[in-house]
Amino acid sequence: MNTNNLTMKDLAEVETLIGISMDLWDDSPKAMLSVALAYVAAKKHNPDLTWEQAQNWTIEEMQKAAVVESPKAKRS
């Protein structure tokens, strides 16, 4: 999951969702951190997505929801 496009506001939302400061993410529950990061990223493209829906994703659904492919350059 590419988190490079998340803003500081997005990261603050992740902190709120999981209740853990970014400073402590290395020691945080990885499943909830992963879901929160994917949820915040996916919400940029699906504003109707809810936190409850994201918590019920399978790993495959989470990966698909958080990944938005960039347009490919056309070859001549």
pLDDT per residue as tens digits for the range 23-74: 999 888 899 999 999 999 999 889 999 999 999 999 999 888 876 544 444 5
Judge contact between 35 and 62, C-beta under 8 A: yes
pLDDT at 2 over 80: no
8 A C-beta contact, residue 42 and residue 1: no
What is the pLDDT at residue 71?
42
In whole angstroms, what is the distance from residue 61 CA to residue 27 CA? 25
Band (pLDDT 50/70/90 cuts) for residue 75 is: low
pLDDT at 64: 84
H helices within 1-76, ranges in order?
8-18, 30-43, 51-55, 59-66
**Higher pLDDT, residue 5 or 9:** 9
For residues 37 and 41, give the distance between their C-alpha atoms in angstroms, rounded to a whole number: 6
